[in-house]
Amino acid sequence: MTPFKKAHYPIWDLPIQERFEYCKSETKQFGLNLTHEQAKQYYNEMYNCEVWKNDIYEVKVFRGKQADWIIHNDEIKGTMDYLSIKRIDKKSIHDWRDFQNIKNELVSKDREAIEIYPKEDRLVDTANQYHLFVFPKNYIIPFGWFNRNVDYQNKEGGLDQVGQRGIDQ
C-alpha cells in the first residue's frame, strides 16, 4: 500500500452556494429533489472533509466538528474523527491491517477507533464502504486488550493451526 496523498474534489472550487446547487443536481440522478437545507446537509456529509487517496483506497476524513453530523452524543461532539473508507476498485475487501494503517497514517497511532456492527434497524449498507469512528486522544475504549501482542512471522494455517501473514516491522 502506497502512502496517502491529499486529493481534491472540483466542487471545492465553487462558491459555497453553488456547492449546494451542485449537490441538488447530483442527487437528482437518484430521483431526489433536495431543498436548500437538505443540499447543505448532503454537502456536509459528502464533501465537507479532507479526502486522501493511495493506490488502493480513498478515505474521507471528517475531523472534530466536521464529524458532528454522525456523532449522536453531545458529550463527545467536536472531539471525534470519522473515517469513511472505500477501495478505489469498489471491491468488498476488508483488510484489518490496512484499516489500522489508515487510522495511524491519517489520524494518529495514539488514538483508538471502532467499527460498528449495528442492530438491524440502524443498518446502512448501500456500498462497499467502511467506517471508523476515532476517539479523542487519551480516551481508552473500555473493552479489548490492554497489552500489545503482534506476531510478525508468516504462519500457514490449517486444521488446529494458527494462520497469520507476516508483516514487516
> Which stretch, 53-62, 125-134, 145-154, has highest mean pLDDT?
53-62
| 165 band by pLDDT with thresholds 50, 70 and 90 | confident
Cβ pair 51, 88 in contact under 8 A = no
Q: How far apart are CA 9 and CA 149, in angstroms?
A: 40
Average pLDDT over residues 66-70: 93
Cβ pair 103, 113 in contact under 8 A = yes
Average pLDDT over residues 59-87: 96
Q: What is the pLDDT of residue 41?
A: 92
Place of cell 504462519: 155
3-class secondary structure for the chain?
CCCCEECCCHHHHCCHHHHHHHHHHHHHCCCCCCCHHHHHHHHHHHCCCEEEECCCEEEEEEEHHHHHHHCCCCCCCCCCEEEEEEECCCCCCCCHHHHHHHHHHHCCCCCCEECCCCCHHHCCCCCCEEEEEECCCCCCCCCCCCCCCCCCCCECCECCECCECCCCC
Q: Would the pLDDT of 155 be above 90?
A: no
Express as a percent the part of the chain with pLDDT over 90. Answer: 75
Q: What is the pLDDT of residues 79-89, one digit of tens each?
A: 999 999 999 99
Backbone angles phi, psi at 53, to 5 degrees: -135, 150
Place of cell 502512502: 3
How high does pLDDT run on average in the chain? Answer: 91
Q: How far apart are CA 103 and CA 112, in angstroms?
A: 9
Q: What is the pLDDT of residue 154?
A: 74
Q: What's the CA dihedral at 106, 108, 111, 117 to 10 degrees?
A: 20
